[in-house]
Structure 1
């Protein structure tokens, strides 16, 4: 959900004005309101939509927006819902941050996708046009996915195509895997800090969450062993390559130890391999899946990250009864991923355009990571970066002790800058103030501007204390 404070402010101002208008009186047009509020047309339209949702205005296409007049109905009473629903599983504040990218006026210095200028948009347009003419794009596929796409994905993991389940992006894959592999009330262990979407997926599945610290070499194995003994957890959630938010890569020795621990405790490892195609080197670290012949590793991968956020396409790869259960349970969610989306994905991944795109992407992300590191050194020397990422999209910065990250990120938002509050990457209280900064959604010039703004916001907070 997009949370736009600017649209909220405009809606509040217009609501006061509409309250003084007669029923049927016409409001100024979007262009006039955009000029008055110095906001984009999209932001003004969002504000008007909020007024319409509350019954304050009505929109007549081709004529304009009109005041509805005083309400004659009583305010709805939703209090019964809170009692009927019971306690919420999902952390609403964390969830609101996960999909929030502000308005088009915000500079995205924390965002989990690529900017349009480094996406293969022309290739996707050409491939989509061709795929739309294929009759297979408008026919049902098997619930597990189209045979061609499953073969393409399986080849990347040295897996059997029968072990591949196509899903609508990595986030759906995480939710589906956690819900299927464990019963509600069971425990999942995550590395700490970790991807907030994985925490939400576990909450949505009704799982308890325990966390184990990680460092530059990934999850600390000795601490993981102790937590497995304590909790009897049967799921371990890991990002072995370019973890979000730290950028850490699980070391070779820890990879072997983690798989051994999973075997000892009869546990599954959900391997979130979201950044496989975002490595700066031509060959990323091999997936854990290839080192595990006994089905302990269940891999979730996505193509929405390297190809396009709008291409909701990913896969779960699992062997044995777990894979069979995942594929059998699929029809409870939906019958299949859109066949058109699958045709586009298969065509893109087998085209000559794909390796060309990945080569350009490696160069662009390396440049932007370097720009972010240089900007922090120049404009935010108070921040400490422990890991220089070699892939992915994110950089994890520690701020001076006592910094309120919630106040800082709120101040940055008001200044038109999106920054990730480090609190949302921890299951429990953060051990220190952190922020997540991202380099995939902004140009080097925008990164420099954004870090200057963030430095000014941090020093503004310090000067008022």
Structure 2
């Protein structure tokens, strides 16, 4: 080989040599390769590095280069990734609470387990028009501010009400992203976080992924019990309480007016934050919707999050965090570290949507549609499955919380429902600890129409 030989030539030569070697056999030393093939030390180093990257050889500093075992050679069997088990330690991300253990529903299944609006309920034309207008903006693809577009932050500040200003708002990539940011920003790994019992499974998964320990606090028909919340703060030393005061998922409960004040008082006394998940702000069924907790908070106790995803469409991943004081600075810092900013075209489209007359029409029409669907499913269940009890009438949201007869198994009921072509959510997923009772969550917004809801109830009556 001449002095002009490249590392590519040497790699080809060494591959031929490796075909005659057994795993563990030693290759010639770098000095031998330089002398034998008349190449430079750099050429040898590059060739060995490429073969090592391919898994063809193993280098041992101070010892030499050896032929790798066949399982690590490209195309000769599965790669050995067992080493990752040690490298990843024990920080597993548990998604069992947000995935269906029964797997994807077969075609034709009536979906009562969905958490988003059916396409027929989405403002698809308004979304398309908003996206088109946003794309025509000359600065649509420019970098967005870390906190979000000023005009969009003003919209979210207006939705929150009270003394919230645009400077108190941080635009996020939907509600789930906001949850993850708050849990990582406020509490250290290993810390407890208080949650309502039952609660949103996505919050449980996000808290555990951040290394936090969810601690359940019981609810009744008026929401979380302030007396037990105070006890939980005292017993655990928690500095964070996650709650959904308005149209709670899964029960639909609205925290009563007197308890709203008590919850804030209890949290202030404990020196703790209240994370208010206001996901259902635009999912009321036509009646008055209570003010957010953050609207009456003057001390920075409440970290408020909301989203446009639920009332619009699954892929409109735009939401907001509202916070005051040092916690907002930490949240902004996390935004810079995570992804700098939410993509500007999506923010522009969201702003176009909520600023148009079509948005108000959509929200009013959605309220009527959800109220009718709620009534349809409630009546059908009472008729077809009288042994099941709808926990309470709800004034907003997308779900019914159903209690099964004493002694029933919610998992078995969900499996049986799948057999008759209906997908439901097992209630056990909504509890941070042992479930207090056998329940199912039944959604009424993911089906095509009210007729499908009636048919789903009829099929459930066969169980």
Does TM, scored on the shorter chain, surpass 0.5?
Answer: yes
The answer to whether residue 97 in structure 2 is matched with residue 94 in structure 1 is yes
- 1:326, 1:284 → 2: CA distance? 28
Name which of 303, 319, 325 aligns with 1:320. Answer: 325
The answer to whether residue 380 in structure 2 is matched with residue 372 in structure 1 is no
For 2:348, the equivalent position in structure 1 comes to 343
Q: Does the 8 A contact of 2:112 with 2:442 survive in 1?
A: yes
For 2:212, the equivalent position in structure 1 comes to 207
How large is the Cα RMSD of the aligned pairs? 1.8
For 2:436, the equivalent position in structure 1 comes to 431
3-state DSSP class of the match of 1:325? helix
Describe how 1:397-416 pairs up with structure 2 within 5 A: 397-416=402-421
* 1:13-64, Cα deviation, whole Å (9 max, x unpaired): xxxxxxxxxxxxxxxxxxxxxxxxxxxxxxxxxxxxxxxxxxxxxxxxxxxx
Number of positions where the alignment pairs a residue of Structure 1 with one of Structure 2: 387
3-state DSSP class of the match of 2:100? helix
Q: Does the 8 A contact of 2:102 with 2:415 survive in 1?
A: no
Q: How far does residue 404 in structure 1 lie from its aligned partner after superposition?
A: 1.8
Q: Does the 8 A contact of 2:146 with 2:335 survive in 1?
A: yes
* Higher deviation after alignment, 436-445 or 187-196: 436-445
Q: Does the 8 A contact of 2:130 with 2:350 survive in 1?
A: no
The answer to whether residue 365 in structure 2 is matched with residue 354 in structure 1 is no
- 1:394, 1:91 → 2: CA distance? 24
Q: Does the 8 A contact of 1:110 with 1:418 survive in 2?
A: yes
For 1:122, the equivalent position in structure 2 comes to 125
- 1:99, 1:258 → 2: CA distance? 37
Q: Does the 8 A contact of 2:123 with 2:312 survive in 1?
A: yes
The answer to whether residue 291 in structure 2 is matched with residue 286 in structure 1 is yes
Name which of 156, 159, 163 aligns with 1:156. Answer: 159
For 1:223, the equivalent position in structure 2 comes to 228
- 1:276, 1:139 → 2: CA distance? 30
Describe how 1:438-453 pairs up with structure 2 within 5 A: 438-442=443-447, 443-453=449-459
- 2:436, 2:242 → 1: CA distance? 20
3-state DSSP class of the match of 1:83? helix
For 1:9, the equivalent position in structure 2 comes to none
Q: How far does residue 419 in structure 1 lie from its aligned partner after superposition?
A: 0.4
- 1:117, 1:369 → 2: CA distance? 16
Structure 1 gap segments, 5+ residues each = 1-70, 460-465
Calculate the TM-score normalised by the size of structure 1.
Answer: 0.80
Q: Does the 8 A contact of 1:89 with 1:203 survive in 2?
A: no
Q: Please tell me whether Structure 1 or Structure 2 has the larger radius of gyration of its CA atoms.
A: 2
Q: How far does residue 429 in structure 1 lie from its aligned partner after superposition?
A: 1.1
